[in-house]
């Protein structure tokens, strides 16, 4: 009984103590005023919507331009140059005459061979008529047939030799600098000039074999050269080499670039940008990303039913980076709003209010050159 009575007294004392503490807390709160119980103030933030962009894996390489067709024109026979029918860097069509060598001897020999051919044909017809009347042996007819065939072959050889004295353009294109003059003695292999079909240019470059699965004919490329500043020239992959270099572990790729205005010249060094694995993906500004050790977070803006806005952390998995933007592979969908300024001052589920971003200075020409052109796939290989 005494123990029970003592326990009751102890509990009553504790209750009186707790009530006294509660009254003191309420008194202090009343002195501080009603603001102590107010909800935390909304933090001003700048937000931006998650949007979809065309992106891809960016592969850069160097290559040298070549004409679609390109040859060094040489002579096949020895002789004296009788006439030159072209000027330096002249445009020609297929079959146009370029140079003539002296062909006096060849024409005389051809005329003699044709006379022998006429005689061989006459003798063959005569013996053939006699053989039909059984007045000539078959052996005589066979001999005359062999003579006729030999005469025809001799004429064909001399006609070919005569044709070699006239050099024509094998295809349409632009000639290079003239390397011979009228009256010059030339020998087989003597360079006349060069001929390039530059209406379409081909560009060979190498790509690491790790991208082999993504390479295919028809992929778009963009090429730039210092000769034309930041201007880009569009082209298409035509073929991928059948072998991989065992030393560099790279594969050769050949692309073609239309050259309608004929500004591109063979030999230009080009920087090639090749887009692999093109896709549409959500992107956000890099300024929206918070780094927490190995984690990547963003602060989403959530709207309640009453319209109140609050911030909520969201873990994301990032992909490619592209000129101030970053691909979001997991964690966000297009149309969601993320905080891009002020997120460091926001706690989870804290109210926020939207404000306009500060005006930014106008970008200079270099900034504009880094922005993706309309229809262009903006990519970079840098990964987080």
Q: Domain holding 178: CATH number?
A: 2.40.50.100
Instruction: Tell which residue, 298, 302, 326, has the closest CA to residue 313.
Output: 298
Residue 294 sits in the same domain as residue 323: yes
- 97 and 176 inside one domain: yes
Q: What is the pLDDT of residue 75?
A: 94
What pLDDT score does 374 carry? Answer: 38
In a domain, 11, yes or no: no
pLDDT of residue 39: 56
How many domains is the chain partitioned into structurally?
4
In a domain, 5, yes or no: no
Provide the pLDDT for residue 348.
Answer: 87
Burial classification of residue 167, based on how many CB atoms lie within 10 Å of its CB (0-12 exposed, 13-18 middle, 19 or more buried): buried
- Residue 212 included in any domain: yes
pLDDT, position 141: 84
Q: Are residues 263 and 283 in the same domain?
A: no
Same domain, 184 and 96: yes
Among residues 42, 43, 51, 46, which one has the least CA distance to residue 359? 46
Q: Based on the domain organization, do 219 and 272 belong to the same domain?
A: yes
| Residue 323, domain extent | 43-55+279-370
Residue that is last in its domain, among 278, 302, 335: 278
pTM of the model: 0.63
210 shares its domain with 240: yes
CATH number for the domain including 216? 2.40.30.170
Kindly report the CATH number assigned to the domain that includes residue 352: 2.40.420.20
Spans in the chain with pLDDT lower than 70: 1-40, 358-384
Q: What pLDDT does 88 receive?
A: 96
Query: Is 25 inside any structural domain?
Result: no
Do 210 and 267 sit in the same domain of this protein? yes
Could you tell me the sign of the dihedral formed by the alpha carbons of 59, 65, 68, 74, in that order?
negative
φ and ψ at 137, to 5 degrees?
Answer: -75, 155
């Amino acid at each position: 009984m005494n123990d029970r009575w003592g326990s009751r007294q102890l509990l009553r004392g504790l209750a009186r103590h707790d009530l006294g503490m509660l009254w003191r807390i309420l008194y202090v709160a009343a002195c501080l005023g009603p603001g102590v119980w107010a909800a935390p103030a909304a933090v001003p933030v700048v937000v931006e919507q998650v949007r979809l962009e065309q992106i891809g894996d960016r592969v850069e390489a160097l290559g040298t331009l070549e004409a679609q067709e390109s040859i060094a024109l040489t002579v096949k026979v020895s002789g004296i140059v009788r006439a030159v029918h072209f000027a330096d860097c002249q445009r020609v069509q297929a079959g146009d005459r370029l140079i003539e060598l002296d062909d006096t001897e060849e024409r005389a020999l051809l005329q003699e061979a044709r006379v022998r051919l006429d005689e061989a044909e006459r003798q063959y017809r005569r013996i053939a008529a006699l053989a039909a009347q059984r007045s000539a042996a078959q052996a005589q007819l066979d001999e005359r047939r062999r003579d006729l065939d030999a005469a025809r072959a001799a004429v064909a050889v001399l006609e070919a030799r005569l044709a070699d004295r006239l050099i024509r353009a094998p295809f349409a294109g632009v000639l290079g600098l003239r390397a011979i003059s009228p009256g010059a003695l030339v020998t087989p292999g003597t360079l006349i000039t060069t001929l390039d079909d530059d209406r379409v240019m081909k560009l060979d470059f190498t790509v690491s074999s790790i991208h082999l699965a993504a390479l295919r004919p028809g992929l778009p490329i963009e090429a730039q050269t210092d000769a034309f500043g930041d201007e880009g020239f569009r082209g298409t992959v035509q073929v991928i080499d059948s072998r991989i270099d065992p030393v560099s572990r790279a594969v050769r790729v050949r692309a073609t670039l239309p050259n309608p205005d004929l500004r591109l010249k063979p030999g230009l060094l080009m920087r090639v940008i090749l887009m692999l694995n093109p896709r549409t993906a959500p992107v956000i500004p890099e300024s929206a990303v918070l780094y927490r050790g190995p984690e990547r977070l963003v602060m989403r803006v959530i709207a309640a039913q009453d319209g109140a806005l609050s911030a909520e952390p969201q873990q994301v998995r990032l992909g490619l980076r592209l000129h101030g933007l970053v691909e979001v592979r997991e964690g966000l969908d297009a149309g969601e709003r993320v905080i891009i300024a002020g997120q460091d001052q926001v706690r989870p589920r804290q109210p926020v209010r939207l404000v306009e971003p500060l005006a930014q200075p106008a970008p200079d020409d270099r900034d504009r050159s880094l922005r993706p052109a309309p229809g262009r796939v903006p990519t970079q290989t840098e990964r987080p």
